C-alpha cells in the first residue's frame, strides 16, 4: 500500500510574528511522517495563491492531497493536531 503524498502549504508574511514559529513546527512534523513536503507561501508576494485557498488570517497552514484540502490555523497549529490531520489524509482511499 502506497502512502498518499501530503503537501503542507505554510502561508506566512515577514511582518507576522506568530508565523515565525511555524517552520520549526512543520520541520518536526515532517520528520515523523513519510511522503510529506512543505511549501512556503509569502502572502505578500503571492496574494493570488492565498486568495485561492481562502487564507484570511495568519499563520495558516493548508494540507493538500490530490483528493482533499484541509486548512489549519490559530490554536489548531500544534504538532499533534497536524500529525492527526496528515494521518487522516494519508488513510483516505484514493
**What is the DSSP code (8-state) at residue 20?**
G
Q: Is 19 a catalytic residue?
A: yes
Q: Is 16 a catalytic residue?
A: yes
Strands 6-12 and 36-42: parallel
Treating both helix axes as pointing N-terminal to C-terminal, what angle do 22-32 and 79-91 enclose, rounded to 10 degrees?
50
Distance between CA atoms of residues 35 and 20, nearest Å:
24
The active-site residue, picked from 6, 19, 36, 77, is 19
The active-site residue, picked from 5, 7, 13, 16, is 16
C-alpha cell read off for 82 = 497536524
Active site (catalytic) residues: 16, 19
Amino acid at each position: 500500500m502506497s502512502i498518499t503524498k501530503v503537501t503542507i502549504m505554510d502561508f506566512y508574511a515577514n511582518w507576522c510574528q506568530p508565523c515565525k514559529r511555524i517552520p520549526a513546527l512543520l520541520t518536526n512534523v515532517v520528520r515523523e511522517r513519510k511522503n510529506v513536503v512543505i511549501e512556503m507561501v509569502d502572502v505578500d508576494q503571492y496574494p493570488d495563491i492565498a486568495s485561492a485557498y481562502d487564507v484570511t488570517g495568519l499563520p495558516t497552514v493548508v494540507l493538500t492531497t490530490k483528493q482533499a484540502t484541509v486548512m489549519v490555523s490559530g490554536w489548531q497549529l500544534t504538532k499533534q493536531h497536524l500529525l492527526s490531520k496528515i494521518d487522516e489524509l494519508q488513510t483516505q482511499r484514493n
